[in-house]
Amino acid sequence: MVIDMGYWTKVSKRIIVLVLSIVGIYLAFKLAVFYMPFLIAFIISLFMEPLIRFVHKRTSLTRKTSAILVLVLVSVLLVSLLAWGITVLIQESTNLLQSLNQYIESAYHQIQGIIENINFEKLKIPQNVTDVIQNSLWDFIGTVSNWIKEFLTSMMNFLTEIPKIAIYVGICFVAIYFICTDKLYMIDQLEHHLPKEWVKRIGKHIRELISSLGGYLKAELTLVFISFIVSLIGLYIFKFAGLKVGYPLLAALGIGFVDALPILGSGSAMVPWAIISAVNGDITLALCILGLWIVMSVIRQFAEPRVVSHHIGIHPIFTLIAMYTGFKAIGVLGMFIGPIVLIILKNIFATTIDKGVGKAIFDR
């Protein structure tokens, strides 16, 4: 039997390229976490760029002056929002941590009441099965309460580290300034220090990624921001109206986070909240939450076609697999990162996917 070394060499090269690409994406995300202030600065600069261009075109100011003017306005707005947000989050997190045991005890009593009202003998369910169900519910409540405590404690520890936050915010704003004012210079420097062949190949992939992934993320962040603002305004209106909404900012952040996850959406948080409120006898709050969810859904359906100019072109089952893989790999944050990695892989290996992965690797 004659072994075609040329064929297997090509196959090996294709497999190595695939593996190195996945490793490269993994390292890129590690670096993105390490250099988070610069990543945040880059994302904010993407949102600021249209405003900078607008000011530059409509006035006689230079691009640098336009960027400084827009940056000052955005800085005042962001610093004011950060100061308000940190103050309110510390207050709400502290109150929730102090009241969490009461909520857990109330949940225990409600579940105990539901179990006692069920006639297990009539349903012919063995006692050992009912014991397993009851113990599983207690374990679930305990696990959720521990997650909430750990999350709130971690957030409180971060928010109370004012010097560290000040350093992050300062670096972030300085980075925004340089990205907005010296964008063309930085691009020229990259082209100057990299080989021409690298610039040509990498530049092509970067432009495609910015066009697809960058545009998609920018659009999704805009939609999530709209959902967050609408839910925050609605929840504060409910609170001022005398309804039992104790933590509007925390709740709005949770709704915004869930809304950012593909497939799930804000309804996966608001509908259970409405059901729990109804079970507790607060029908008014339940109806108000459902009404707010409907308003948010209508606004999102109206805004999405105008904000998102294209779809990611990936079947929901693969997006769900990516979310699950990300969750198993790095936790809750992975549910958001998983689909992003999937989009990046799809763009890098678009030709391979169109041809068929197995065919592209093993065909002669």
Q: Is residue 137 part of a domain?
A: yes
Residues 100-126 have pLDDT tens digits of: 667 667 766 666 666 666 655 665 666
Segments forming the whole domain that contains residue 89: 29-193
pLDDT band at 129, cuts 50/70/90?
low
Residue 22 pLDDT grade (very low, low, confident, very high; cuts 50, 70, 90):
confident
Do the domain assignments include residue 177?
yes
State the CB neighbour count (10 A cutoff) for residue 32: 13
Cα 154 from Cα 53, distance rounded (Å):
39
| DSSP state letters, 20-83 | HHHHHHHHHHHHHHHTHHHHHHHHHHHHHHHHHHHHHHHSS--HHHHHHHHHHHHHHHHHHHHH
Q: Which of 175, 223, 227, 153 is nearest to 45 (CA)?
A: 175
* Residue 86 belongs to a domain: yes
pLDDT at 363: 63
153-207 pLDDT, tens per residue? Answer: 777 776 677 677 778 888 888 888 888 877 777 767 766 666 777 667 666 666 6
Cα dihedral 298→222→245→96 (10° resolution): 150
User: Into how many domains does the chain fold?
Assistant: 1
Assess whether pLDDT exceeds 60 at residue 32: yes
pTM higher than the cut 0.75: no
Domain assignment present for residue 78? The answer is: yes
The mean pLDDT value for 299-326 works out to 69
Q: What is the pLDDT of residues 197-253, one digit of tens each?
A: 766 766 666 666 666 666 667 777 777 888 889 999 999 998 888 888 888 888 888
Domain-located, residue 157: yes
CA distance 163 to 52: 31
| pLDDT classification of 84: cutoffs 50, 70, 90 | confident
pLDDT band, very low/low/confident/very high, at 330 (cuts 50, 70, 90): confident
Distance in Å from the first CA to the final CA of the chain: 18
On average, the pLDDT of the chain sits at 76
* 32 CB-near residues (< 8 Å, 6+ apart): 39
> Where is average pLDDT lowest: 68-72, 154-158, 282-286, 359-363?
359-363
CA distance 297 to 285: 18
Confidence of residue 304 (pLDDT cuts 50, 70, 90): low
Q: Give percent above pLDDT 70 in the chain.
A: 70
Residue 145, pLDDT > 80, answer no
Please indicate whether residue 6 or residue 31 has the higher confidence score (pLDDT): 31
Q: How far apart are CA 43 and CA 70, in angstroms?
A: 15
pLDDT, tens only, 50-65:
888 888 888 878 878 8
- Residue 214 domain-assigned (yes or no): no
What is the band of 150 on the pLDDT scale with cuts at 50, 70, 90? Answer: confident
Q: Which residue has the higher pLDDT, 91 or 2?
A: 91
Evaluate whether residue 312 is within a structural domain.
no
> Does residue 352 lie in a domain region?
no
